[in-house]
Structure 1
């Protein structure tokens, strides 16, 4: 496996932000709060649960070197890290299977923002650095499995102009697989390029369903909001009747529109367009923010469980008020609350509410710290980089490993095999489904693929003061 570079960036993760050699050990007072992104500990200085930011032992700092004035040179690692150099032949058998696969990774390292005086890493670089460090470990494993790849890693600098320039590079023109970029506008440019050149393109971060159409070469690795809503309702209906479910949101256009995902999914799961709609409680937006009293008692069923689904993404004030009011209103009755992924990052809401209200959330990635494979990966990552892996590192590892194996198994034709099997990597499940417009499905025009989406979503429950996989 070979890597092409002229600008050298030693990407041993963002350790500069964690302190240099000999960091002190972080004392973790009880209780710990375990989230899919790792364990949060209580910080007495801030009065909040936070992720640890220090590590024990000798830690390397990030070294950045500009070896070329060219703005378009890709990032390259030391080829000697890998067992052997692989041939660069790209001969196809005619079915999309090649001896060696050219892979272009286009993500925003933002090397131009590095603090060259202090040697620090800009905060906007951390996501890409984590992704790349995980990807590097996956590339090592793929090399051991005999997957031959020429991998070129390029810095998009979060710039549409930079991305347009990178598309002219031979490494992208001749790629059998492209991973990235992140931003919507840049991604639209690369998606159009991939469609024209018939190169499979992996969108590792973006969840928008409006990037491209009629493009079977575009693969959205992150489930959309619609997929999260469908997964939440499917799980709720598996354990409760539709009559027990209440959809809750603020009276804001974006949130009210979100309820349609649930109502449409309910019709599909019921197998009838005439099925009664799910109950809705739409709260005045001003009342929701002013800690006013909410009318929740009238929705709570006596003698059974009531399920409240709250598809609000990020307004912690509203969600905190809702949880407090629901805890008061329920009395001795049982309730279950379903929320969105970002709820796991909230810091001002008491975790007692999460526990007492049987909180469930959806998430694309779940870092199960009890999983032996994840423990082994974490240990290896720490030994290699001197830091604990972030969720972006797990994403980089999972995506690179999964799609690398798909290339080895099916060649570039893997896009036509995408909906035939499910595979679970360390933190991410892959259930690739072709997105076809309903009118095309009705007319059996199944070749009219808009794009391919990974529809797999985890449902977690908060129990014993930690998030864990729900039944």
Structure 2
């Protein structure tokens, strides 16, 4: 692999100096279009040699390409992430104010995690030709696609949103290249690409997982769905209803849907609560202000009515420290969980501590996890590893990629999606994993 740049000291609040240099002693110019990634450090160099993959003579998922075993001596990988290099270094190679802009950090941190994974795999003997693209550079993703530089790619890993997601998906489908959407929790309206993997599960999958979890966890429950009267939350309510109808649990309890707004009083909410059993309350609010508004209303009733409150994946980063929320049992769903005690998490943390004197962010862990997981899978099973993804061992977080059929009656997947959803309880100092629910 060739290196055109390495980004150092990513974190805001530190005196950050970004060096764009080659791993060799001679410096290279930074390209606005792409940069070939290669990284060097002391990494573990041993890995248990996998057994030869089983070759399925049939056509997995009704996609002819998946029946082909395509292995190469060197794999071409494209990594897309929003680096904003042209914006940050518009006038010079120095960062204004010596502080990295906050909007740059997620993409840089994802890149640094991926970079460490690539270097680790290279040290284990992987032959990779990796090109890193700045999805927020001067040249758009569409321009990069039209330039034909991606045509020989074997795998695309991207931390992008729409419209870049849709453009890369259309390209991957047309060229039959597996494309990993690593961080965007949405299918972007894509319904026809069996080469697409959505790692950050969609809200529909979260709704299904929460419904499944609460139906299994409580044998005698009063389930209430609290939503606002908006098209978005109405659609989420419909997803919960659909998940309930699909459930085969013989002891499932019906979900009562309650529409609330800012004028709704705690007394009005109490009409739906029971004193003799747990009230399982699902809140569809994604925004912090709306979430805290309804939680304050529920908090008024918490001394009288036992309740457990289940929120959305966005609640992961919310801080529910207000006195009126004290004592509430709050849970949320997440497709990603890292207690940072496993081997790879400690390995990443140690590297970041030695190299950057900082702790890796969740985006850095995800960059490492996605890159290591899928490139290892590709090397073991070939370019079309789709039939084997369900048996792949985890790196940091557990994944459960399943085919999704959006259109009724179709025989080819619309895409593959991570269906492994964790239910996590909010804690005072740390969050606690309750269970992993697979649909």
Range into which the TM-score falls when normalised by the shorter chain: 0.7 to 0.9
Question: Alpha carbons of 1:181 and 1:348: their partners in 2 closer, same or farther (altered >3 Å)?
Answer: closer
Displacement after TM superposition at 1:63 (Å): 2.3
5+ residue gaps, structure 2: 22-26, 46-66
Q: Give the secondary structure class of the aligned counterpart of 2:150.
A: helix
**1:11 maps to which residue?**
7
Question: Alpha carbons of 1:382 and 1:169: their partners in 2 closer, same or farther (altered >3 Å)?
Answer: farther
**2:374 maps to which residue?**
403
Residue 196 (structure 1) aligned with residue 174 (structure 2): yes
**Residue deviations 1:340-371 (CA, integer Å, cap 9, x gap):** 122232346527736x2211111122231455
Instruction: State which of 263, 274, 282 in structure 2 corresponds to 1:301.
Output: 274
Instruction: State which of 431, 434, 437 in structure 2 corresponds to 1:467.
Output: 431
**2:293 maps to which residue?**
321
CA distance in 1, matches of 2:343, 2:226: 38
Displacement after TM superposition at 1:465 (Å): 4.5
Report matched runs for 1:58-137 at 5 Å: 61-64=17-20, 68=29, 71-72=32-33, 74-77=34-37, 95-115=69-89, 116=92, 117=94, 118=96, 120-137=99-116
Displacement after TM superposition at 1:460 (Å): 0.4
CA distance in 1, matches of 2:353, 2:213: 36
Displacement after TM superposition at 1:139 (Å): 1.4
CA distance in 1, matches of 2:391, 2:343: 24
Displacement after TM superposition at 1:286 (Å): 4.0
Instruction: State which of 383, 391, 394 in structure 2 corresponds to 1:421.
Output: 391
CA distance in 2, matches of 1:351, 1:380: 39
Q: Give the secondary structure class of the aligned counterpart of 2:385.
A: helix
Q: Do 1:101 and 1:150's aligned partners in 2 also have CA atoms closer than 8 Å?
A: yes
CA distance in 2, matches of 1:150, 1:120: 32
**2:136 maps to which residue?**
157
Instruction: State which of 365, 376, 380 in structure 1 corresponds to 2:336.
Output: 365
CA distance in 1, matches of 2:141, 2:301: 53
CA distance in 2, matches of 1:331, 1:337: 14
Q: Give the secondary structure class of the aligned counterpart of 2:403.
A: strand
**Residue deviations 1:123-177 (CA, integer Å, cap 9, x gap):** 3321111001111121122223332211111112167x52122124554111100
Question: Alpha carbons of 1:193 and 1:252: their partners in 2 closer, same or farther (altered >3 Å)?
Answer: same
Structure 2 length normalisation: TM-score?
Answer: 0.83
RMSD: 2.9
Residue 432 (structure 1) aligned with residue 392 (structure 2): no
Structure 1 length normalisation: TM-score?
Answer: 0.77
Residue 262 (structure 1) aligned with residue 262 (structure 2): no
Instruction: State which of 276, 283, 287 in structure 1 corresponds to 2:263.
Output: 287
Question: Alpha carbons of 1:121 and 1:276: their partners in 2 closer, same or farther (altered >3 Å)?
Answer: closer
Question: Alpha carbons of 1:77 and 1:321: their partners in 2 closer, same or farther (altered >3 Å)?
Answer: closer
Instruction: State which of 193, 198, 201 in structure 2 corresponds to 1:215.
Output: 193
Q: Give the secondary structure class of the aligned counterpart of 1:104.
A: strand
Instruction: State which of 201, 204, 216 in structure 2 corresponds to 1:238.
Output: 216
Displacement after TM superposition at 1:68 (Å): 4.7
Residue 146 (structure 1) aligned with residue 117 (structure 2): no
Q: Give the secondary structure class of the aligned counterpart of 1:173.
A: coil
Q: Do 1:191 and 1:211's aligned partners in 2 also have CA atoms closer than 8 Å?
A: no
- Residue-pair matches, total: 402
Question: Alpha carbons of 1:181 and 1:379: their partners in 2 closer, same or farther (altered >3 Å)?
Answer: closer
CA distance in 2, matches of 1:77, 1:98: 19
CA distance in 1, matches of 2:324, 2:429: 8
Question: Alpha carbons of 1:67 and 1:124: their partners in 2 closer, same or farther (altered >3 Å)?
Answer: farther
**Residue deviations 1:39-71 (CA, integer Å, cap 9, x gap):** xxxxxxxxxxxxxxxxxxxxx632247965864
Displacement after TM superposition at 1:399 (Å): 0.2
CA distance in 1, matches of 2:137, 2:211: 35
Displacement after TM superposition at 1:13 (Å): 4.0
Instruction: State which of 352, 355, 360 in structure 2 corresponds to 1:381.
Output: 352
CA distance in 1, matches of 2:316, 2:356: 26
Question: Alpha carbons of 1:175 and 1:264: their partners in 2 closer, same or farther (altered >3 Å)?
Answer: same
Q: Do 2:307 and 2:329's aligned partners in 1 also have CA atoms closer than 8 Å?
A: yes
Displacement after TM superposition at 1:372 (Å): 6.0
